[in-house]
C-alpha cells in the first residue's frame, strides 16, 4: 500500500529527502507521494522513513492504493533494477 500525505502537512520539507525512491515531491499546496514509486520503504528500511521524520503525523496508508508486502517488494525490485 502506498502512503499519502494529508492536508495536515505543514510543508516542513523533512520528508522529501528521506524517501529512497524519490516518491515525494512538492505539490500545489502540500507535499505529495507518487503511489507508483512508493514502496513504504520496503527493500530499503524496516519502516517508512517519511513517517519516522514527519513532525505532524500526516502520512497514513493510502486506502486507494492497497498493496501487499510482496507487491511492494516487486515494485522495489522494478524501481531499483534488483
Q: Distance (Å, rounded) from C-alpha 59 to C-alpha 56?
A: 9
Contacts of 56 (CB under 8 A, 6+ apart): 8, 9, 10, 12
Sequence-separated (6 or more) residues with CB below 8 Å from residue 14: 53, 54, 55
Q: Quick one: fold of 16-80?
A: Alpha-Beta Plaits (3.30.70)
pLDDT recorded at residue 82:
81
Query: Where exactly are the structural domains of the chain?
Result: 16-80
Mean pLDDT over each residue of the chain, to the nearest integer = 96
User: How confident is the model over 20-42, as a mean pLDDT?
Assistant: 97
Confidence (pTM): 0.92
Residue 44 buriedness (CB in 10 A; 0-12 / 13-18 / 19+): middle
CA angle in degrees (0–180, nearest 5) for 4-8-9: 70
Q: How much of the chain, in percent, has pLDDT values that exceed 90?
A: 98
Amino acid at each position: 500500500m502506498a502512503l499519502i500525505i494529508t492536508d495536515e502537512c505543514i510543508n516542513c520539507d523533512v520528508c522529501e529527502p528521506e524517501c529512497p525512491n524519490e516518491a515525494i515531491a512538492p505539490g500545489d499546496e502540500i507535499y505529495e507521494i507518487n503511489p507508483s514509486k512508493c514502496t513504504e520503504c520496503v527493500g530499503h528500511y524496516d519502516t517508512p522513513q517519511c513517517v519516522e521524520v514527519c513532525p505532524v503525523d500526516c502520512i497514513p496508508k493510502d486506502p486507494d492504493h492497497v498493496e501487499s508486502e510482496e507487491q511492494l517488494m516487486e515494485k522495489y525490485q522494478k524501481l531499483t533494477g534488483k
